[in-house]
Amino acid sequence: MQRGKRRSKKKDKARLLECLRECNGIVAYACQKADISRVTYYNYYKDDPAFRQKAEDIQELQIDVAEAALLKKIKNEDTTAIIFYLKTKGKGRGYSERYEIGGPGGGPIHVDGFDINALSAEERKLFLKIAERTNGN
């Protein structure tokens, strides 16, 4: 922005949303095109619920576009697209390479009668090491 020249927030927000649409939801490109900093964009996003909703709608539209392209590839029998779709949308039917283990309704697993204090120091260390691995740490 040129020094001494002030723009209104309302116009900046409208310009940012217009550029966000033109830049397919990519914030960095939209800010550069609008000549408005990313910090300003994220401040508007954080502080203005109406602006945030419009920005999210633009980004949701881009996901719709990507899904439509994926479905087109699936209809053309693209094996990679089919596998990707099944791994992400078909997990409930067993199309997954990873199994998630949990309690009822996906909640934590409870073990009745287990007392960690009954373990030796060495067993507790091993137990904690296993627990850390299963939690992705």
pLDDT tens-digit readout, 36-79: 999 999 999 999 999 999 999 999 999 999 999 999 999 999 99
- Cα–Cα distance for residue pair 110/38, rounded to 1 Å: 46
3-state secondary structure of 5: coil
Half-sphere exposure of 127 (CA within 13 A, CB side): 11
Q: Identity (one letter) of the amino acid at 100? A: E
Cα–chain center distance at 72: 23
Say yes or no to pLDDT of 1 above 50.
Answer: no
The mean per-residue pLDDT over the stretch 3-32 comes to: 89
Pick the closest to residue 25 from 71, 70, 65 (CA basis). 65
* pLDDT at position 4: 47
Cα-based angle 20, 62, 37 (whole degrees, multiple of 5): 25
Model confidence pLDDT, tens digit, residues 68-106: 999 999 999 999 999 999 998 988 888 877 766 777 777
Which one-letter DSSP state was computed for residue 136?
T
Rounded Cα–Cα distance for residues 84 and 74 (Å): 10
